[in-house]
Structure 1
Amino acid sequence: MLRLRNHLLPLLRAASLLPSPLHHRGTLLSTSASAAPFSLEDYLVATCGLAPAQARKAYQKALDGATKAKPSGELCYSRLNSASNPDAVLALLSGVGLARADIAAVVAADPLILRSSVKNIGPRLLALRDRFGLSAPQIARFLLVGSRALRGCDVGLHLEFLLSFYGSFEQLLVVMKRNNSILWTDLERVVKPNIALFRQCGLSVRDIVQMCSRCPWLLVFNPERVKEFVVRAEELGVPRSSRMFRHAVVSVASISKEKVAAKLEFLKRALGCAETEVAIAVSKMPSILGLSKECHLRRIQFLINEVGMEPQYIVERPVLFSLSLEKRLIPRHCVMKVLQANGLLNSNMSFFSLAKIREETFKLKFIDCHKDSVTGLADAYAAARAGGVPPKSNL
């Protein structure tokens, strides 16, 4: 306690060194009876460094977020009725090393941080630096997405667990940007039981981390609901032992049961295949459920009409649905036709084999090695990937 007090006192004293009272449009802003009333919007500009447009937006956030508006439009929350509490909060942010620009960005993202209790957020900010070893830039990035959690509760236990689970601050930050409720969801009743359930399904910790990095709400949903996702994944024909199981869980967690059924029916009609064949395709590549019907239809039409594939051939190779039409399929088909026309492609090379090769390998084997034989091939490929028309004159 004494050590914490020694840390906090200098920061609190520093609040008195911040520029206050404020001047704006020639008017002194203070809470004295002889001066104009305190204006949060003006404070955001003059002291926090926000642009006027940013300040108006931030002020509205503060008004809508945790305060009530009087007929006059004033904020009726005691900690935002003067510069006193905001000054103290800014002193704390500065005290843990945040630069002025970082502080402005944090306040713009979450103006309600200015009405936080200094006694509460002071120790929490210090813990980010002293306990978890975050640098000032890392603290700033954390606050841009996690300040709501920081001002609402002690996030120490969550951070300790999540940093260990995800393995690094950078990875946790990615997850927080997608769903920051992970910082206040009950660890013992929700987060840990969900992880335990996935472990029971045979997933490794690494699998769970990858799955929950892509779909972080899997950790914050009610465990009973997560059990439903597991059942639905198995109903797709993906057993728990399959390496596709975690992908199936992500897919069903992102789309309703009714939409899954509708997507399966659409694929059956578009490909003219039996329901069992489409089901097998989905079990091999569950992520195709997340793609829109329009995307599926455009791929199917291209593969059938332009490439000349049979629907049966396509459904047996569902990875084709996961490849970008604009960035992968169309440009590589363009290259394939050029190489075939110049007699530079093995007749046994199928478009499917050419399409699934990694980008680096494809460029090395089919672009770079033919740059002297086919002038402009690299430019044509780049143009096709950019959505343009390949320069036929050079080919």
Structure 2
Amino acid sequence: MFNSYRKAFLYLSNVILRTSTTPKLPIILQSNPSTFSLKYSTSTSDSQSFTVDYLIKKFGFSPETALSATKRVHFDNSKKPDSVITLFKSHGFSNAQISNIIRREPNLLISDPDKTILPKFEFFRSKGASRSDIIQIFTADPSLLARSLEGCFIPFYESLKRFLLSDQCITKTVKYYTHIVGHSHRTTHNVQVLLDNGMPDKKIAFLLSHWPRAVDMQTDVFKKVVDDLKELGMEPSKSIFLVALLAKSSGKTTWERKIDLFKRWGWSEEVIVSTFTKYPWIMLVSEGKLAAVKDYSVTRMGWDSMLLARYPNIFSRSLEKSIIPRHSVLQVLVSRGLIEDDKSFSPFRASEKAFRQRYVNCFKEEAPELLKLYEEKRNLSQ
């Protein structure tokens, strides 16, 4: 049976997940500054020249960046681009925000703002979005302004309404992860995959509102990931399945670096598979924290690295605020023969109240000293 688990896990390790698209940026010409003036004066049309001057004066573009932008847009008068700028300003966008938007989507300067841009603002406003919400959304992803209202925005809202129930919740999700709108068809298809595999509406709602990037994969890749997680024994109806999906949305490179890190600790593929299926959160912990907790656990606490695979939840604890202060208290108790050094995870898993009661307050004579030590170590982290 493990061979089938291993096969599924290896696929998860090798699959390339594209979780977001990078906004199309103007291509910066790597031209020699000394020859730019000559190129600019001899190889551009009048409309290109006007466009370059406009972009430099209005937005502070460098000459190279402005000339590069003319590969995507050019105009011979300022009427239309001025109307675009005016519309943005009338809706509260700052000069810096407008400049950022135009750098990423220069084509907007030749659009009809009342037909291309304004309807998107009005759509979000009709859904209860505030002015600041609208500014945040379109500054984060200006490419949305070039998308169809009927073909993208409206179907997106309708498909999410079943799960997120209110316009306010949908707007919150969009603010958190704007790419979900541009990938609305993909999101819809992937949500259907989850439904077909028995994931309840409530779980899907949580995924969309808290971790929307987890469903931002190519649908064929998403289907394969879902199938392989199920082959590892994970059930789509369980919350742990959501965590595993989120872990896979972090991307192939991040995933592979962590696998290599675990192997350097001496973990076999079997151990890595077992740890992931038991605690997929481990693939969401930063490499820096993984290394720091491992080093402290092995060098200071005397744990074997394999013990970390047995108790992977320790990686969810703060090293400075929890692990070090609690270990310091335990060291004193062990040195005085008050408890055994059983290398248990229990002291680190306990709530703050439970830890103080079990390892500080219950030792009447040592309690003041232990509490002082504990608080000092916690305060150091701040």
TM range (shorter): 0.5 to 0.7
The alignment partner of 2:198 has SS state of coil
User: Which segments of 5 or more consecutive residues in structure 2 lack a partner in the other structure?
Assistant: 1-45
- Give the fraction of aligned pairs with identical amino acids, expressed as a percent: 19
The answer as to 2:375 corresponding to 1:378 is yes
The number of equivalent residue pairs is: 319
2:171 is matched with 169
Give 1:87 deviation, angstroms. Answer: 2.3
In 2, the alpha carbon distance for the partners of 1:282 and 1:375 equals 38
Asked whether the equivalents of residues 194 and 236 of structure 2 are also in contact (C-alpha less than 8 Å), the reply is no
Structure 1 residues 291-349: Cα deviation after superposition (integer angstroms, max 9, x where no partner): 56665454333223311234454322221233343454234323544677799x87699
Whether 1:281 and 2:272 are equivalent positions in the alignment is no
Cα deviation, residue 227, structure 1: 0.8
2:173 and 2:210 in contact (8 A); partners too: no
SS of residue paired to 2:187: helix
Q: How big is the alpha-carbon RMSD for the aligned residues of Structure 1 and Structure 2?
A: 4.2
Q: How much does 1:84 deviate? A: 1.4
Asked if the contact 1:328/1:355 (under 8 Å) is kept, the reply is yes
Structure 2 distance, partners of 1:159, 1:140, is 19
Go from structure 1 to structure 2 and tell me whether the alpha carbon gap of 1:336 and 1:361 turns closer, same or farther (over 3 Å shift): same
Counterpart of 2:143 in structure 1 is: 148
Residue 118 of structure 1 corresponds to which residue in structure 2? 113
| Structure 1 equivalent of residue 54 of structure 2 | 40
Structure 1 residue 364: Cα displacement = 9.6
Q: 1:354 aligns with which of 326, 347, 354?
A: 347
Q: What is the correspondence of 1:91-240 to structure 2 with a 5 Å cutoff?
A: 91-95=86-90, 98-99=91-92, 102-111=93-102, 112=106, 113-128=108-123, 130-154=125-149, 155-158=152-155, 160-161=157-158, 164=161, 165-166=163-164, 167-176=169-178, 180=179, 182-185=180-183, 187=185, 190-212=186-208, 216-240=212-236
Higher relative contact order (CA 8 A, sep 6+): 2
| Structure 2 residue identity aligned to 1:227 | K
Aligned partners of 1:120 and 1:43: how far apart in 2? 26
> Contact 1:116/1:151 (CA < 8 Å) preserved in 2?
no
Q: TM-score scaled by structure 1?
A: 0.64
Q: Give 5+ residue unaligned stretches, structure 1.
A: 1-32, 46-54, 69-74, 387-395
**Distance in 1 separating the partners of 2:296 and 2:205:** 36
Q: For residues 297 and 375 of structure 1, what CA distance do their matches in structure 2 show? A: 29
Q: Which amino acid aligns with 1:107?
A: I
Distance 1:367 1:76 in 2: 69
Counterpart of 1:9 in structure 2 is none
2:244 to 245, 248, 265: 248
TM-score scaled by structure 2? Answer: 0.66
What code does the residue aligned with 2:379 have? A
- Quick one: structure 1 residues 355 and 110, their matched pair in 2 at CA, closer, same or farther if it must change by over 3 Å? same
* Cα distance change on mapping 1:223 and 1:333 into 2, 3 Å: same
